Structure 1
Amino acid sequence: MERTTSSAVTGLKYLALCAYLVFLAFPLLWLLSTALKTPQEIAQINPTIIPNDITFANFRAAFDEQPIARSLVNTAFVASVSATLTVLLSIPAAYVMARYRSVVSRAVIVWVLLSQIFPWVLVIIPLFLLLRDAGLYDSRLGLIIVYVVWSMPFALWMLRSYVASIPYELEEAAAMDGATKVRALRSVVAPLLAPGVVAAGLFAFVSAWNEFLFALVLIRDPDLQTISLTLVKFIGAEGVARLGPLAAASLVATIPSLIFFAFMQRRLTGGLLGGAVKS
């Protein structure tokens, strides 16, 4: 009887997990379905998920009408550099915040919390003026700096929690064995901190990849525009969207971030196992 109940509970858990996965994957499936439909089928009153006549004309139209490839390269460059800088700047700051309790660390914590309360739309005009005066307006460097500042508070908070969860006794034991501070950080703390670094990098990369408001205000050169700005061009002046090419371009824009997430997910699992072995 207990075995039957346990099997039923396990089956319900897997059923709920499958339902959740279908819920998460449905928007991507709907994008794929719309991208493969003809304009006549898209305009039907009762849409279907599986296209009746599969066509790749929407993908050809999307790449012919807009510089999708160039926008993807711009977005990948900005997102990768901003995510790397965010992680590199957040790691030492998070370690200091977690290990050394002082007025400065408490002030940084207050800054992190306050930065998450106020909407970023309030600072878009000051940012525009600052970047314009600094000669960084309409440049990828200016956009990267904004993305780093935007992502750092959350990355700091996340990494601080990871550092705080690592027992300080491990560093003391390494010091007793003759390891220097740098050696203890590299050999003891770094492997255990790897999952947090990957998670913070994922957050910074995906945030920069999907961001629209800052790119809209700070980028004007068509050669520097990110993919989110390019997708808007498939919507007409009166708000009428060309659903076929828009769905095709959106699907193409989603695939690189999914590949990056899948690649980093493997590193996240490896970091967790490596940390478990080290501890």
Structure 2
Amino acid sequence: MIPAQFDYVRAGSLGEAVQELAADEDAKVLAGGQSLLPLLRLRLAYPSKLVDVSRLPELTGVHDRGDHVFIGAMATHDEVMHSGVVNADCPLVALATKTVADPAVRHRGTFGGSLAHCDPAGDLPAVVLALEGVFVAGSGEGEREIPAAEFFVDYWESSLRPGEILVGVRIPKLGAGWGYHYEKFHRTAQSWAIVGVAAAVKRSNGTIEEARIGLTNMGPTPVRAHAVETALRGMQLGDQVRQACEEAAADTSPPSDLHAQPDYRRHLAKVLTHRAILNAAKSP
């Protein structure tokens, strides 16, 4: 199909971008376009204006900031997955990014665009939620920090305010003793996750000292499996871990669609969480 008519502006600075967005509440940000352009073509989105931010240096790059890694909103998936600092200090981000779509999409799609799109079937929201990342939004009033637990509001809806733009995301460095794994179940290599599990596990003296688990496509937003996290604390690897993972689907509301029914997704959440925990606990 042909998109509905819209105006186009290529922003020359972050200030110009937020000014254009503030002036028109129906304007949308155009970054890599891998999420937005299909919606335009299918007429599922009707923006009055597209504000192109693809050439803003303020939004680019991956930066080591001491206790955290700052990933610019315009950093591509390919850049993130091959970043030395991400692989060294935030390997869960790299692991999940490698499963996003295909190489063509990863070379064009952006880290910030994927997160701001807020698709609960997307791989990265659950990862940033599990790692307790912090979103940095810019506007004419300066920058605002948004914890990941507050950023995702509903299907395709974030807590970004009118006139705000996502500048980047701060991912804390968890340090030594942590293992990571992203487990994804999907029909084909390029498709969305039917269910995905992002797991970070800290081991100490043969036991699980702490676990963080984010679930993909188990509700209108990414979900933390708090019941499993609590149950795993102080537990040794063994049959008890499988029993703890039976709580993975607690407090979730998985969707029903052509790919899976809610009860099947609940089953997958339990199985995949168990796999993710075991692999994370065994990873270096």
The answer to whether the superposition gives a TM-score over 0.5 is no
Report the TM-score when normalising by structure 2: 0.23
**Higher share in strand:** 2
Which protein, 1 or 2, shows the higher relative CO under an 8 Å CA cutoff with sep ≥ 6? 1
The structure having more radius of gyration, on CA atoms, is 1
Report the TM-score when normalising by structure 1: 0.24
